[in-house]
Structure 1
Amino acid sequence: MIRTIGLPAETKDGERRVALEPSAVKSCVQAGHDVLVQAGAGRGAGFGDADYEAVGAKIVASAQEAWSADLVVKVKEPQRHEWAYFRRDLVLFAYLHLAAEPELARALMDAGVRAYAFETLEERGGLPLLAPMSEVAGRTAAIVGAHYLAQGSGVLLGGSAGVPPARVVVVGLGVAGTMAARGARGMDAEVTGIDIDLHRLMEAHERGIVTATLASSEHAIGEAVADADLVVGAALVTGAKAPKLVLEEHVRSMRPGSVIVDLAIDQGGCVETARPTSHSNPIYETHGVIHYCVTNVPGQYPRTASRALSAAIAPKLVRLAANLDDPLLATALNVADGRVVHPTVADALGL
């Protein structure tokens, strides 16, 4: 029986989002739950403690008090110092990305936590709790790509009179990739979309989201990347580690000062030379190519991202608190009874 819901402040580097805005907390209170909000949890997204108190939440002074709730909801995966709050009767609801976080998976199993992941919840063929942040991340990819391209090769995405526009390659045209392509096209870049789904490629071309399409293959990706000024990696396999589609030899073929934005880095990255970075240190260079591989890209737009995420989470959270075995939420369950129970996640972890 879930009586209390905890909302701790996020502690990941540069993370200013909050999982629930006040209106979502109100929904939980109206459903009969006590909501414990850590003081300052919503400040980065523009929500004050008084906003939460006004809808019936209880403001608690420490993270420990928020984590003492029956069910804890947060944005990003628990950081190592938060593992001390794990316990056998805890229910956790957050982005977990366990395929790329084996140590976290082991900590959850050892503590007996019942853990549900936003990113694996499937509904009508989609990922309703991943899509809002994929949209924000995709839009951001075009912005940060343009920014670092200026610092690198000095190429303007849209070009100029007598100067051709930049070449952008987007690998994977799901929600994130589509939004990245739209953003780059909005700045008048030439955009090539690569995907394994021919129908998706046709639709993107017909809608003008891309200027060219390629069916995914190692050879096609290699040729496209070699001529690219900006590459956006956005390949996703739900619950699994991202496939390595842009190989190191492809990166080596790119011009110095070109840019790679790997949006799949949460799941291990789809670029072979990608490694996780943070908002404090967002980029590094490999083979002269700038890599931006921040693992919580939407955190830099906390107001927009928090409101979008909260709207998606709130109805699912109320259902979860009412029934931990709700069949509509079954695909979100990653860890229970000391083991990884999501088959794709378990396979990715070799369990």
Structure 2
Amino acid sequence: MIVGVPKEIKTREYRVGMVPAGVRALTSAGHTVLVETNAGVGSGIPDSEYQRVGAQIVASADEVWKRAEMVVKVKEPIAPEYERIQPGQIIYTYFHLAGVDPELTKTLIKKKAAAVAYETLQLDDGSLPLLKPMSEVAGKMAIQVGAACLEKAHGGKGILLGGVPGVRRGRVTVIGGGVVGLCAAKVAVGMGAEVTILDVNLERLTYLDDVFLGRVSVLASDTESIAKSVRESDLVVGAVLIPGGKAPKLVSEALISEMSPGSVVVDVAVDQGGCIETCKPTTHDNPTFTVHGVVHYCVANMPGAVPQTSTYALTNTTRPYSRKIADMGLIEAVKSDRALARAMNTYNGHVTYEAVAKDMGYDYLPIMDAFGRK
């Protein structure tokens, strides 16, 4: 199979879809890997490292997309890339279709592309192995950027999360106790903040209570508990996930207006539409905006700011599946692996992931049925 790795073009997106170890795994098995020149530079990987393991360095993204049977990326294709998508092409990346430009879904359907989405590849135990490493990075970063936004110079109220003796600590509320929430809470606790985690899963709350040995408050998530915690917080982290679907709006604009001026919200769920009503996607160039005196940080590709960590963490998990698709072909690979089957968001002009179909207003066709359609 011919596998293409284009350079990411989202604002300040420095990650790359494949590292040299991934290239070697494919070339040693007889596959061809095309890497756009300088695709890995932002992650500290020069072209020479890719050439050393057998990649072909090509001069343009157009050539990568035109020649590749499978394109391996990090972020979803954006508008300049829509025309580059080839009919029937396999695209293996994060898509978050329910939370991005609806034109992307239309384009994938029109081109009959096979969208293999990292974020919905799900094991039988319910875990999301390709989402987990970036959730870990984003969760930890949420507290770092939130703490910076609380500084007066950045529009915040001037609170130090850890406080000092004789002065109260900063109050942090984390909505959602999954991977993002757990990692956010770890950093917040490490900085000395007063931390509350809310989740609807009581078993998860029990686990979090055990992990933190009583150093955080764990609360059952409902309208009242969210409202009370958010009002009293200096920093709120939105960490809610519905695999493949839009995040529920759990914090209303009215509630945001009740927070004290200079408070901060960081919505990690923004790439799936966000769980805070006032949030909208921002970029690393212009990461924040203010609503009702509350600073909002809503960068949709947060891990792109730390690419040397993020790229290797991500590709450690994506590599085995790209190799399986290349070795077996997409259809046989999907038939042999239920996790990979769940990653299929579109195929041959159909939407093959139920939550995406529901949120985007398309008919849903299970992937095994789609394989039988012409």
- The number of residue pairs the alignment matches comes to 349
- Tell me the equivalent position of 1:136: 137
- Tell me the equivalent position of 1:100: 99
Distance in 1 (CA, whole Å) between partners of 2:151 and 2:177 is 25
Distance in 1 (CA, whole Å) between partners of 2:317 and 2:63 is 25
Distance in 2 (CA, whole Å) between partners of 1:319 and 1:131 is 20
Say if 2:65 and 2:86, in contact at 8 Å, map to a contact too.
no
Distance in 1 (CA, whole Å) between partners of 2:82 and 2:303 is 23
Distance in 2 (CA, whole Å) between partners of 1:125 and 1:32 is 33
Say if 2:88 and 2:111, in contact at 8 Å, map to a contact too.
no
Cα deviations by residue, 1:168-227 (Å, 9 ceiling, x for unpaired): 000001111110111100000010000001111111122117510111111110010000
- Tell me the equivalent position of 2:50: 52
Say if 2:88 and 2:348, in contact at 8 Å, map to a contact too.
no
- Counterpart pick for 1:225 among 215, 226, 230: 230
Using the TM superposition, name which of 247-256 and 222-231 deviates more: 247-256
Alignment gaps of 5+ in structure 1: none
Amino acid at match of 2:110: D
Measure how far apart 1:229 and its partner are.
Answer: 0.2
- Tell me the equivalent position of 1:14: 12
- Counterpart pick for 2:354 among 313, 327, 343: 343
Q: Secondary structure at the match of 1:261?
A: strand
Cα deviations by residue, 1:121-140 (Å, 9 ceiling, x for unpaired): 00132001000100000010
Using the TM superposition, name which of 210-219 and 112-121 deviates more: 210-219
Amino acid at match of 2:133: P
- Tell me the equivalent position of 1:64: 62
Distance in 2 (CA, whole Å) between partners of 1:139 and 1:32 is 39
- Counterpart pick for 2:269 among 264, 273, 282: 264
Using the TM superposition, name which of 18-27 and 255-264 deviates more: 18-27
Identity %: 47
- Tell me the equivalent position of 1:116: 116
Using the TM superposition, name which of 169-178 and 95-104 deviates more: 95-104
Distance in 1 (CA, whole Å) between partners of 2:322 and 2:300 is 24
Amino acid at match of 1:139: K
Amino acid at match of 1:148: C
Amino acid at match of 1:339: H
TM-score (ref. length: structure 1): 0.98
Structure 2 residue 246 is matched with structure 1 residue 246: no
- Tell me the equivalent position of 2:330: 324
Measure how far apart 1:337 and its partner are.
Answer: 1.4
TM-score (ref. length: structure 2): 0.92
Amino acid at match of 2:114: R
Alignment gaps of 5+ in structure 2: 363-374
Amino acid at match of 2:143: A
Distance in 2 (CA, whole Å) between partners of 1:267 and 1:30 is 37
- Counterpart pick for 2:318 among 313, 322, 328: 313
Structure 2 residue 277 is matched with structure 1 residue 280: no
| Superposed CA RMSD | 1.0
Q: Secondary structure at the match of 2:248?
A: coil
Measure how far apart 1:87 and its partner are.
Answer: 2.1
Measure how far apart 1:262 and its partner are.
Answer: 0.1
Q: Secondary structure at the match of 1:213?
A: strand
Measure how far apart 1:31 and its partner are.
Answer: 2.1
- Counterpart pick for 2:203 among 173, 176, 199: 199
Q: Secondary structure at the match of 1:232?
A: strand
